[in-house]
Amino acid sequence: MTPSYLSDTRPDFTPFEIDCGKIPAFRFQGNLQSELAAGRIEPATAVDLLEDMLMVREMEDMIVRLRAGAYEPIAGFNYRGPTHVSIGQEAASVGACSALTLKDYITSTHRGHGDSLARGCLAIRAMDEEQMRKRVPHSRAASRQQLLEEALEEHVYRTIAELFGKEDGYCRGRGGSMHIADFTVGHLGANAIVGGSVPIATGAAMGLRYLRSGGVVCCFAGDGAYCNGVVLESMNWAAQAQFTNEIAGDHRFGVPIIFYVLNNHYAMTGRTDNEVTGVSHLARRAAGFADNNMHAEIVNGMDVLAVRDAVRRASQGCREGGGPYFLDVDTYRYYGHSLSDPRNEYRTREEEAAWKAVDPVLRFEKQILDCGILDEQGIASLEAKVRERNARAATRAAGSPDPDPADVIKYMYADTVVEKVPPAFQKTLLLEPPPAIKRADGAITYRDAIKEALIEEMKRDARVIFYGEDVAEYGGAFKLSKGLLESFGRDRVFNAPISEAAICGTAVGAAMIGLRPVVELMYMDFLLMAGDQVSNQAGKWHYMSGAQVEVPLVIRASVGGGKGYGGQHSQTLESMIAHIPGIYVAYPSTPYDAKGMMKSAIRDNNPVMFMESQLLYGEKGVVPEEEYLVPLGVADVKRPGSDITLVAYGPAVHDALKAADRLQVESGLSAEVVDLRSLVPLDIETLLRSVQKTGRCVVISQAVHMGSFTGEVASTIQQEAFDYLDAPVMRVGAKNGIAPQSHVLEAVFYPRVEDILAAARAIL
């Protein structure tokens, strides 16, 4: 059946024109007086907005003065780390956050101090007393106002402590300024990779749509990010027609995200407008991704009320199913990329003066004075309160404990799994019975074992969703997911655009807000397209956040050659991923292990790279229908022996078993075959026990020999069991080259049983 959202694709070459519509700019022409008169803001709220902008500016001005040795409250403090200040952009941060609710989320940039401070302040102001007391549990405040003051100061303290790399920082000093996050208020993290947070934000919004929470994601990213490939992929992702939203009978589509461009006109030193792009306004980017131009508009980012107005309208539109929205927020930063950038090579003094003439803080102070909300003494008192609060927080942060050096890699991995599914997700809607897995004498294929694991886990936990290229109606390139769409529906099983970075990045965002995505990379070669989102995002956020967040996702990737697919569809890249801390790597060799390990991977709270050998998809083995798990990080002795240890994983295990049989028949030698099953965590104890018994070892994989994970295994054995070895550890792998298409060449490119035998005989 053709999905309802697909249009007819029969040929029709009748001439027509596409009208891309108009993109409005600077719609808001009001001021504080008109907003007060219209009842869209209260006087107290206006004071709060000013206070929050002052807090952002004071904290960042502190950084500037610290670098110059001129911040008196902590004179002499050695501030180390990045200095990407956003002075001048206060209205853009505070105005946006003031239009969000507690159930909403933000992501931010490497220049994210202001976004983080603003989000926390506005969230704290929206909390009830019980929620605030959780942030300051030792408070003895007698009134809400006193409690609010304490919570705000604690927020400033923990922010500065993170900038200073202290244990009391939001991320326990592991993230620092470029990765600051507070997941308790929906801040999913600043990101040091330009554009790196945009697919995460998109995935979080996709998750909010699935959960029907009514939440919105405001994705702060700079103008430079909108020249980045994964950002454009994310915009396409967010606007997919298959993300349908029926609101009061109105057919809409897309996910609830606001692409919020902090357009300060400089990516670093290069100008986005009139230099590195071909559009005069970045808002035009949106026309390429949605027929409604993503409701794009250009906003005055130097006016906190204009920003507040635009984000309120955009967030409401998202809540009504009309997302995504695109806001090109015209703002300016007064300093260079960092404090080491004097900015005089590429800016004029006249340009800077013109922007400072519309300073967001000073202009809003004047409006508050003109409206009689505060007088000049009131403004001065507010400025003094902010300044003194920041000084107290900075002094406390400077003297607070540093992280314990013994904990340098603490929080690298989550140590939890899902043992019990929360009640809200135990009920799963099945549109029709899942496809039956047929057994012959209890045996099923490796492919069906993984499919059965997916079915069982999706039935068990409604948070498990599955997507990738061509995995829906077609069932994937290897037909592994055939029938899952019909059972679980398009909310949980759907096709992805050909955007590997967006596939993996959106999975990170969805995992961060509570889903448990399983995504498919058709071939592992395509992992290289998603390198940043896997290695810099999925693998690092648990650690960089100081264990505030877990990232439970599984990336399935078909691996290896032997099918004549050539150099770009045949790579075995597990060694690359094993080199990235923070990611588990699983590589089962049998149907039994494949099912049990997939189930364990889905329940684990770490990101797992799940390697599936194309050569093994058709292999059969006995797999119980009853519930069972195969733990990650536990090797398996597939064949006991006493004379030599053959260590392998994936399809190489089967070659090792054949070599062991040959050694027994031809030489009477007893070879023990150890299947690693998991590369990370690595079960070194099982390996050492085997080598201590046999005294000899060969390590085998189908990866290119150079830089292979077999070297890690061999060196660890040499280091930990040297006294037990009677010969050097040998390694067997593919040739140090590129996989050929020719079957004649491919036959000698990958290691064969004869190669394993030759290595074994050399040390026996």
10 Å CB burial of residue 557 (0-12, 13-18, 19+) is buried
**Interval 453-469: pLDDT, tens:** 999 999 999 999 999 99
Cα-to-chain-centroid distance, residue 700:
33
Taking the C-alpha atoms of residue 489 and residue 336, their distance in angstroms, rounded to an integer, is 50
Lookup: tokens for 613: 């050998």
Active site residue 569: yes
CB burial class (10 A; 0-12, 13-18, 19+) of residue 95?
buried
C-alpha 83 chain-centroid distance: 24
Q: 423-622 and 636-763: same fold?
A: yes
The answer to whether 269 touches 11, Cβ cutoff 8 Å, is no
Determine what percent of the chain is predicted with pLDDT higher than 90: 91
Quick: pLDDT tens for 218-251: 999 999 999 999 999 999 999 999 999 877 667 7
Round the average pLDDT of the chain to a whole number and report it: 95
Q: What is the DSSP letter of 760?
A: H
Q: What pLDDT is stored for residue 621 in this prediction?
A: 97
Q: How far apart are CA 138 and CA 123, in angstroms?
A: 20
**438 with 465: CB under 8 angstroms?**
no
Say if residue 754 is exposed, middle or buried (CB neighbours under 10 Å; 0-12, 13-18, 19+).
exposed
* pLDDT tens, position by position, 633-648: 999 999 999 999 999 9
Element (H or E) spanning 665, and its range? helix 652-667
* Residue 273, pLDDT score: 83
Four-way CATH pick for 32-400: 2.30.31.10, 3.40.50.970, 2.30.33.40, 2.40.50.140: 3.40.50.970
Given the residues 58, 569, 612, 672, select the one marked as catalytic.
569
Token readout for 367 is: 């409006």
In b/e form, how buried is each residue of 69-78, taking b as 16+ CB within 10 angstroms?
eebebbeebe
> Is pLDDT at 560 greater than 90 in this prediction?
no
Tens of pLDDT, residues 593-611: 999 999 999 999 999 999 9
Kindly tell me if the per-residue pLDDT of 693 is higher than 80: yes
Dig out the tokens for 559 from the structure. Answer: 């691996």
Q: List, for residues 33-62, the tens digit of each pLDDT value.
A: 999 999 999 999 999 999 999 999 999 999
The residue-averaged pLDDT of 494-521 equals 97
Domain boundary assignment for the chain: 32-400, 423-622, 636-763
Task: List pLDDT tens digits, range 298-335.
Answer: 999 999 999 999 999 999 999 999 989 999 999 999 99
- Tokens matching residue 691: 């080598």
Q: Find the mean pLDDT for residues 181-208.
A: 97
- The pLDDT-based confidence of 7 (bands split at 50, 70, 90) is low
Identify the band that residue 1 occupies on the pLDDT scale cut at 50, 70 and 90. Answer: very low
Model pLDDT, residue 81: 83
CA distance 559 to 640: 28
C-beta atoms surrounding 301 within 10 Å: 29
pLDDT over 90 (residue 692): yes
Q: How long is the chain?
A: 764
Decide if 297 contacts 24 (C-beta within 8 A): yes
Number of C-beta neighbours around residue 1 at 10 A: 5
Residue 500 a catalytic site member: yes
Ramachandran assignment for 427, one of left (phi > 0), alpha (psi -120 to 50 degrees), beta (any other): beta
**Which residues is 325 bridged to in the sheet?**
258
CATH superfamily of 423-622: Thiamin diphosphate (ThDP)-binding fold, Pyr/PP domains (3.40.50.970)
DSSP state string for 657-717: HHHHHHHHHHH---EEEEE--EEES--HHHHHHHHHHHS-EEEEEEEESTT-HHHHHHHHH
Of 493, 550, 541, 540, whose CA–CA distance to 520 is shortest?
Answer: 493
pLDDT band at 172; cut points 50, 70, 90: very high
Mean pLDDT, residues 642-671 taken together: 97
**Burial of 406 by CB count in 10 Å (0-12 exposed, 13-18 middle, 19+ buried)?**
exposed
Per the CB < 8 A criterion, the answer to whether 266 and 518 are in contact is no
Q: Is the pLDDT of residue 550 over 90?
A: yes
Identify the residue with better confidence: 9 or 633: 633
Helices 360-370 and 43-67 pack at an angle, to 10 degrees, of 150
Three-class secondary structure of residue 430 per DSSP: coil
Judged against a pLDDT cut of 80, whether residue 547 lies above it is answered with yes
| Token output for 299 | 């906003």
pLDDT in tens, 106-153: 999 999 999 999 999 999 999 999 999 999 999 999 999 999 999 999
**Would the pLDDT of 698 be above 60?**
yes
| 324 CB neighbour count, 10 Å cutoff | 32
**Looking at per-residue confidence, does 349 or 567 come out higher?**
349
CATH 3.40.50.920 given to domain 636-763: yes
Q: What is the Cα 171 distance to its own chain's centre?
A: 16
Cα(703)–Cα(572) distance, integer angstroms: 5
Q: Return the pLDDT at 561.
A: 77
With a cut of 50, say whether residue 539 has pLDDT above it.
yes
How is residue 557 annotated by DSSP?
E
Smallest CA-to-CA distance from 240 within 463, 428, 22, 491 is with 491
Q: What's the token pair of residue 400?
A: 């607070």
Number of H helices, E strands in the chain: 24, 21
d(CA 732, CA 573): 16
Q: Tens digit of pLDDT for each residue in 57-98?
A: 999 999 999 999 999 999 989 998 888 999 999 999 999 999
Query: Is 589:678 a contact under the CB 8 Å cutoff?
Result: no
Question: Does the structure show a pLDDT above 60 at 486?
Answer: yes
Q: Is the pLDDT of residue 420 over 50?
A: yes
488 neighbors 430 (Cβ within 8 angstroms)? yes
Q: Is the pLDDT of residue 562 over 80?
A: no
Tokens matching residue 739: 């996989």
Give yes or no for residue 256 having a pLDDT over 70. Answer: yes
**Active-site entry in 500, 612, 619, 746:** 500
Q: What is the pLDDT of residues 566-591, one digit of tens each?
A: 888 888 999 999 999 999 999 999 99
